[in-house]
Structure 1
Amino acid sequence: MQAAPITRTHRRTARRTRTALAAGLLTAVLALSGCGAADDSGGSSDQRALSADGQEKADPAAGKAAADAKELAAEKEGAAASGASKKPNPVTATHVIRTASLLVEVKSASRAAATARTVAQNAGGLVADESTEQVDDTHDSSHLVLRVPQDEYDSVLRELSGAGKLLSRSSTAKDVTGQVVDVESRIATQRASVARVRKLMERADKLVDVVTLEGELSSRQASLESLLAQQASLRDRTTMATITLDLTEPETAAEADEDPGFLDALSGGWHAFVTMLRWLGMAVGAAAPFLAAAAVLLVLWRLAARRWGRKAGQRPPAAG
């Protein structure tokens, strides 16, 4: 009765031992296979490196040109990846473009325009555009475009609105912070790209490489200049607000004509008399040359007639 339990225990122990040995053998086989694959891949990598080194030693110029081309291609891919993956850093400053339009009725458009110029200049701004015209021969109107600093925008707007009777007012505020940050990031990337192309040009020996790099440099410099122009425009519009001011005078109705009286008739007759004398004087002046010529001809004719009459009286009578 005691031998049976002992036999079962030995069997269980033997099974566990065989299972452990099998697991150990499987682990050893897998480890050896992994080492062999690693050795094969390492050997192939070493062979590729040796072949590349041999090519560069065999033809140094070709190896250098290939290296430059690889570096330029890698630089292009890196710039594109950095431009696509770069996120704008969080900034505290907010960039806003502010504009406003005012229509104000004033007693004198010219005086109000002069006051508006003074207000803008005192605030550190300027007058970008100005024009004044007479509308329908009844009143004057002035149009001004003022540029003022953002800090003085609200105070200048209030002062201009109180210059007279405010007829209309509109204002807009456009947040361009994201656009400003994006342009600044692209400028930094483009400047680094231009610097890398210049370094490649310094190391280039072949004419073909120099021409290719010059074309690439011109293209990148043009892109950089375009970005700088965008940055300058954004800086100008975010630091200086624009206020369009229209000043108009109240329309005056034309005075109605009154019935003419004695004085009006006397004045009209006097003007007609003076006008007639003026025209007569002009007529005499125009006929004066002709009258002088006619007078000379008349004098000559009379002198000739007298001579003929004397000669006819001195002739002897005819014999009978």
Structure 2
Amino acid sequence: MRTRRSVRPAQALAGVLLAAALTVTGCSGAGGDSGGSMADDKAAVAPERGQGAARDEGAGDAGAEQGAPGGSADGAPAATPKVTANHVIRTASLTVRVKDVPEALDEARTATENAGGYVGEETTRRDAEGHEHTRAVLRVPVAGYAEVLAGLEGVGELVERRAKAEDVTGQVVDVDSRVASQRASVARVRELMDRATKLSDVVTLEGELSVRQADLESLLAQQASLKDRTSLATITLSLSGAPSEQGGKDDEGPGFLDALAGGWEAFVTVLRWLTVAIGAVLPFAALAALLVLLWVRAVRPLLRRRRPAGDAGPLPAPFRPGGGQGNGPN
């Protein structure tokens, strides 16, 4: 009798709870489509959680029985995290003094092309002393960067060497992620444009699509620049011609030929200046000669003719040997 009495209240309580649950379900169903979908989602998620919990318990028991280290909760091996490759921008600058600049430049170009690279820029000039200077920008794949750099150092006398490595892995990952997100965003806008029926909606979506495509192109340009700089190292090579040995011997002191050449140069310089001086004085000398000729030919004879005859003094007395001058015999 006690068992029957204890079962009846329990059945009555279960009936009341079931009726309340049916009432709540009916109210939520009348709430609208969104409420129904949310209820369906929750109802779908609840069994999954229950099944997941059951799987976790079963897997935990199996794992405890097997005792395998490094295993996951369901007995499968744990997934290893994806390792991101390092992206490094490598740059270097070399200053080398060589005997033959064109030959050294050909060697550098050949080494670069053999490594799969290319010469990006080249500039050549000649200074006042006749020495040739060349600057070349070499783009070399990262795999052959160290080998090419070592080979360039051996083409002549190394004057200066600088090298730099910049890790841009985080920047590359960030740009790649933004590119993927922007592409998905552009795809969503295009999908909305396909579904749009109103002209105003189409115009708005076209403007939004233009903005997002511009952002995507900017990100793609950044991505291409990073890829180029990380896949190809940049080497700036400066080549300068070394002073010749003949020039060094000349610095020891002048020889006979040097003295002869210097004397001849001085002689020619003196003649040049004398010629210049004569050319400067010649007009004045010609004028002076003309004046002298005029004086001798015209002015001086005219002055002689105008002089009167009485102006001539008395004739001197004849000289006598006997003792001086006299008026005559006594």
Q: What TM-score results when the alignment is normalised by the length of structure 2? A: 0.58
Distance 1:299 1:184, change over 3 A: same
Distance 1:136 1:17, change over 3 A: farther
Higher-Rg structure is 2
Task: Name 2:198's counterpart in structure 1.
Answer: 205
Q: Secondary structure at the match of 1:124?
A: coil
Task: Name 1:157's counterpart in structure 2.
Answer: 149
Counterpart selection for 1:278 from 267, 272, 282: 272
Distance 1:124 1:300, change over 3 A: farther
**Percent of counterpart pairs with the same letter?**
53
Provide structure 2 residue ranges, at least 5 long, that are not aligned to the other structure.
37-80, 308-330
Counterpart selection for 1:196 from 171, 188, 192: 188
Q: How far off is 1:19 after superposition?
A: 2.1
Distance 1:310 1:190, change over 3 A: same
Task: Name 1:32's counterpart in structure 2.
Answer: 19
Provide structure 1 residue ranges, at least 5 long, that are not aligned to the other structure.
1-13, 50-88, 314-320
Listed as ranges, the matches of 1:1-320 within 5 Å are 14-45=1-32, 90=82, 95-102=87-94, 104=96, 106-131=98-123, 142-164=134-156, 176=168, 179-201=171-193, 203=196, 205-207=198-200, 209-247=201-239, 270-292=264-286, 305=299
In structure 2, C-alpha distance between the alignment counterparts of 1:257 and 1:150, rounded to whole Å: 46
In structure 1, C-alpha distance between the alignment counterparts of 2:255 and 2:96, rounded to whole Å: 42
Q: How far off is 1:298 after superposition?
A: 6.5
CA contact (8 A) 2:28 2:35 kept: no
CA contact (8 A) 2:139 2:233 kept: yes
Q: Secondary structure at the match of 1:147?
A: strand
One-letter code aligned to 1:18: R
Distance 1:147 1:258, change over 3 A: closer
Q: How far off is 1:232 after superposition?
A: 0.8
Task: Name 2:321's counterpart in structure 1.
Answer: none
Distance 1:240 1:287, change over 3 A: same
Cα deviation, 1:154-195, whole Å, max 9, x if unaligned, reads 432342233345567665555655654543343233223223
Distance 1:173 1:283, change over 3 A: closer
Q: How far off is 1:30 after superposition?
A: 1.2
CA contact (8 A) 2:125 2:134 kept: yes
Cα deviation, 1:60-94, whole Å, max 9, x if unaligned, reads xxxxxxxxxxxxxxxxxxxxxxxxxxxxx948876
Q: How far off is 1:141 after superposition?
A: 6.0
Q: How far off is 1:22 after superposition?
A: 1.4
Q: Secondary structure at the match of 1:44?
A: coil
Higher relative contact order (CA 8 A, sep 6+): 1
Q: How far off is 1:245 after superposition?
A: 3.4
Distance 1:138 1:19, change over 3 A: farther
Q: How far off is 1:127 after superposition?
A: 2.0
